[in-house]
Every structure is written in C-alpha cells, then in structure tokens.
Amino acid sequence: MTDRSELILTVSPRLDAALQIGWEGWLTAARDAGATAVATWIARRSGDPASRHAMLPAVEELLSAISVEGQIEPGIELAELMEEVDDLVADTLWEGVLLAGQASDDADTVFEATARLAAIAEAHADPLAAAEYWIDALNWRRQAERVSDAEQIEAAFEEIIRLAALDGAPREAALFSYRQAQYTRLVEAEDDRATTGNWEESSAPYPSWA
C-alpha cells in the first residue's frame, strides 16, 4: 500500500526563489525554513520524496555548521546527490562548497567545486562561463601564500584552453597556452612558485575574454 504521506506536495516558493539569488541568499532562506523542510524540498526536487529521511542528517549538518569548513562535507554530499537531477540546486550547493573552500584556503575543495560548476555550465552550452570558473580558480591560487598541487594548475590551464577553442576564441586559447608553457617551466625547474603564491611576474588577475 502506498504511503500517502509521500504524496503530500510541499511547496517552498521562498527556497525556489532563493536559488535565483545564489548560495548566500539560499542558505539564509534554508536556515529560516529549517532542516526538515529543506530536506523535504531537496528530496522532492530530486524526484524521490522518500529520500528526505536519508538527506536530513547532511542538511542538518550543513545548516548548523558554525564554520565554513563545516559546510564543505555535507555540501559536497548533497551537491553530488543533485547532479544530473536538478542542475540549479546542484549549482547552488557547489557554489557554497566553492566559497567555503576559498574561505578556508582549501585548494582541493576549490578545484573540485570549480570542476563541478564548470561541468554544469558547459552542459548548459556556456563554455565561456565554464572557462571563467577555471580562470577564477587560477586567480584565487595566485594570491599570496595560496598552495596547491601543480597538477591542479596544469589541469585548469588545459580546461581553459579547451573551452576557449570551443567558444571560438583562438587568441585566448593561444594566450593561455603560452601562460601554461611558462608555468610548466617553473614546475620542471622545481620553482616554489609552481606550488605557492603567484607564479606570474605581474599581480594582475587573468581576465576573461567576455
């Protein structure tokens, strides 16, 4: 027999509307709504209302986190559940993970969230937006004392070059190829700048081609 409680429609227009604002606006609305309501809302948007019970612990952890570091693990868990199911929710949650990673100087989290956000943008036929996520990641990493693996930087350059070509921007693809070649020389020379801080002579951030 069907559990009729699973058929009750939970309408949360404020949570829906907050998705258009972005992570910070959505998080405020979610905290106001409470963990149970948010878990129910996410579960219904996922197409599996019964999953609200399984989602509740992660939602509670996310909404009650005292520090941004505490938002990372539950944010990743929920974002992964919503990928390829509801891109708007997944995008918002990955944005939160990205901001938490940036605030806590966690390069692994920053580059993982960047990859997921870029993939969503590319899936929606927006290679420029996808490239801008990677450009922002490189600019974040180039700030003083920021540390990451060289492989993460190389992968970011490769994605920007690929996306520039896809977006019909050959000049920018060539420019980032040149920048990558310069960076690779630092890696091969075991220069500390390859893993820490700004590897460029200039402190100016890389611009997009928008």
Contact by Cβ (8 Å): 143, 198: yes
CA 3 → CA 8, 51, 92, distances in Å? 10, 13, 31
Contact by Cβ (8 Å): 169, 161: no
Whose tokens are 């944010």? That residue is 75
pTM of the shown model: 0.92
Average pLDDT over residues 3-22: 66
Q: What is the rounded CA–CA span in Å between residue 114 and residue 136?
A: 9
Q: What is the rounded CA–CA span in Å between residue 177 and residue 207?
A: 14
Task: Please return the burial class of 75, using the count of CB atoms within 10 Å of its CB with bins 0-12, 13-18 and 19+.
Answer: buried
pLDDT in tens, 139-180: 999 999 999 999 999 999 999 999 999 999 999 999 999 999
DSSP category for residue 197: S
Res 12 pLDDT > 90? no
pLDDT in tens, 55-88: 999 999 999 999 999 999 999 999 999 998 999 9
Give residue 210's pLDDT: 77
pLDDT in tens, 97-149: 999 999 999 999 999 999 999 999 999 999 999 999 999 999 999 999 999 99
- pLDDT band at 4; cut points 50, 70, 90: very low
Give residue 44's pLDDT: 92
> pLDDT above 70 covers what percent of the chain?
95
Q: What is the rounded CA–CA span in Å between residue 74 and residue 27?
A: 13
> Which of 130, 136, 150 minimizes the C-alpha distance to 193?
150
**Average model confidence (pLDDT) across the chain:** 93
Chain mean position to CA 186 = 28
DSSP category for residue 193: G
CA 193 → CA 109, 152, 172, 173, 200, distances in Å? 20, 14, 23, 23, 9
Three state DSSP letters for 34-102: CHHHHHHHHHHHHCCHHHHHHHHHHHHHHHHCCCCHHHHHHHHHHHHHHCCCCHHHHHHHHHHHHHHHH
